[in-house]
Amino acid sequence: MSLRLAAILFVAFLAGCAGPGGGLRMNTDHTAQGQDSRVQYIILHYTAGDSARSLKTLTEKQVSSHYLVDVDGTIYRLVDENRRAWHAGDSAWKGAGSLNAASIGIELVNKGFQEGANGRAWYPYPDRQIDALIELLKDIQTRHDVDPDQILGHSDVAPQRKLDPGPLFPWHKLAAAGLVNTPPRALIEHRLNQLQGQVPPAFWFQEELRRLGYTIDSTGEFDRATINVIAAFQMRHRPARADGQPDLETAAWIMSLPAPR
Ligand SMILES: [Zn+2]
């Protein structure tokens, strides 16, 4: 070995030993007990476009997500989990805002909806896509210990601006896979009986939806902002009718859900 080659190899060896700061040396023999994952939320979206357009938008524009799940079940990783993706925008849950910093964003290729003569027609999610999403969610939840109540739709954390992942997103399949909580039907029936045909007033809906994590003001009116939050709740839990109108079944669902941790 020439002296010159030896010198090059020695420099390469030193570079290999360098810490994250470039030449900065540090002792990593000790690890602190007080730490947890940066990831506290997983937020689900639809892309409102086809596969090619979704991939192009998420890689070439300002908007981004950690993962994109295609209709055939292909999972693209676009942003490292240790880094922040720009998917949630102005968002909040349980009083915490700017959720990009503490979340993993997953986009699903889905065109959203089309306005027609009979109202909005929503695009369904193929089984293969949802099966892939469930495997991805299990993996993320295991690694980051994300609370089931903090796997959320974009519409949950930005109900005044967003409708995704929409009323055809199969939350019940996530519940069946043990990823999110859902109350037993018998409890909802019991709560329906307790309501005795009386739909609670606006104040009640506002207080209870805030207890569950939604951002909502106590105006005492079923105003537009309140209707939007009720619609977000319905899309998530009672998607058969998600028009934002307060009704008995929605109230019974709200009463059946425990306050999040
Ligand atoms: Zn979204």
pLDDT tens column, 159-211: 999 999 999 999 999 999 999 999 999 999 999 999 999 999 999 999 999 99
Distance CA 216, CA 226 (A): 7
Q: Are 189 and 248 in contact (CB under 8 A)?
A: no
Q: What is the 89 CA–ligand 1 centroid distance (Å)?
A: 9
**CA 21 and chain centroid, separation:** 33
Q: What is the 64 CA–ligand 1 centroid distance (Å)?
A: 10
Q: What is the 216 CA–ligand 1 centroid distance (Å)?
A: 19
pTM of the model: 0.89
pLDDT tens column, 227-251: 999 999 999 999 999 999 999 999 9
Q: What is the 187 CA–ligand 1 centroid distance (Å)?
A: 32
Distance CA 222, CA 235 (A): 18
Catalytically annotated residue among 60, 107, 115, 221: 107
Token pair, residue 255, equals 């009463």
Distance CA 100, CA 41 (A): 9
Instruction: Let me know if 107 is a catalytic residue.
Output: yes
pLDDT of 14 over the 50 cut = no
pLDDT of residue 23: 86
Phi, psi (degrees; rounded to nearest 5) at 143: -75, -35
Q: What is the 20 CA–ligand 1 centroid distance (Å)?
A: 33
Token pair, residue 116, equals 């027609």
